[in-house]
Structure 1
């Protein structure tokens, strides 16, 4: 694997037909390749330095890392979609105004197979490289390595807020109030006479 090439991956589940796609981005010497595959067909486009700068300006992106983050965020939040056309696909990233759209032409049979093979080996080399540089804990390194290939999920559970403790509430059992020591009652027999 060429270690000058940086690669990022995420998965997209198309809402329209529930088809799963692998989105891949490769950068090398300032050039960017964006591609999409369903494991049988491959759609891909290359950006030169000039076309990449124009594309990033159009979508108000400041860096390649911002570009990767936008795509990965959309993959994780199900706000990326794929529209199949005769000669390729249109990848839409985001659902708000300023949605990033990419027209990716379909690659022919021999070129598509070559891209799939290269993609498979890049991913395998990336996993092997992560395993060889892993720390002492294999469980943590395995978790970290496979996270690169999955979209990031946003926490969607209910927010848990800490309740402020009222004066007199028990620290051990917060639902109960602290019992105060009895002060006693004064009974005077002299008042009854």
Structure 2
């Protein structure tokens, strides 16, 4: 994902408009997508299991209240705390009847964010917006990184020649390798080797 930087609500350093991560329910180990989204005046934190949606929106005033509560230097630090926890895997969720509690960190005094469950058709519209925002982020990422460089000497479709017949360097004809049988001639393969004649032995008889 390619985050889009924008100016934060207290005028300090910019932060990314969108971020996504997966979180796990502490009770049944089900996975959810946690997302943050910044529009003109609101900072949204949402959670979805691809069918239901839980969400909350922060104004500049509520973000400032959270910043003071957790002794953070700026509202961007509060937002970055959530996003860095998502990246490190130290975020979990606890589902309740009508809300979900996003637990940021592992200590009891760490940050918790309560998200309200959205009703239909608002939940469906939020899922649709989330899907297209993620697609736009991937498109920007592809345009930024560009395609992988092509190397003529390294084709992904290069064939393996380990099991192909051997070829002569010039003619390119396939050499037929035949097994030599016992007695075959080494000079003329396919013909039997001839042994030198030893002559015929006759017995000498007396003329008497």
Q: TM-score, normalised by structure 1?
A: 0.62
**Structure with the larger RCO, 1 or 2 (CA within 8 Å, 6+ apart):** 1
Structure ID, larger Rg: 2
CA change 1:87–1:97 in 2 (3 A) is closer
Identify which of 111, 122, 127 aligns with 2:133.
122
Q: Distance in 2 between matches of 1:77 and 1:7?
A: 17
The counterpart of 1:89, out of the listed 86, 100, 110, is: 100
CA distance in 1: counterparts of 2:119 and 2:131, whole angstroms: 18
Using the alignment, how far apart are the partners of 1:21 and 1:97 within structure 2?
Answer: 22
Q: Tell me what 1:133 maps to.
A: 144
The aligned counterpart of 2:58 is: 47
Q: Shift of the alpha carbon at 1:126?
A: 0.7
Match for 2:21 among 4, 7, 10?
10
Structure 1 equivalent of residue 81 of structure 2: 70
Secondary structure of the structure 2 residue equivalent to 1:133: helix
* Alpha-carbon distance in 2 for matches of 1:53, 1:68: 11
Report if aligned partners of 2:25, 2:95 keep a CA contact under 8 Å in 1: no
Looking at secondary structure, tell me which structure has more helix per residue. 1
Structure 1 contact 13–78 (Cα < 8 Å) conserved? no
Aligned-CA RMSD value: 2.2
- TM-score, normalised to structure 2, is 0.58
Unaligned residue ranges in structure 1 (runs of 5+): 139-193
TM-aligned CA distance change 1:127 to 1:110, over 3 Å: same
Per-residue deviation at 1:76? 4.2
Equivalent residue number for residue 80 of structure 1: 91
Q: Deviations over 1:150-188 (max 9, x none)?
A: xxxxxxxxxxxxxxxxxxxxxxxxxxxxxxxxxxxxxxx
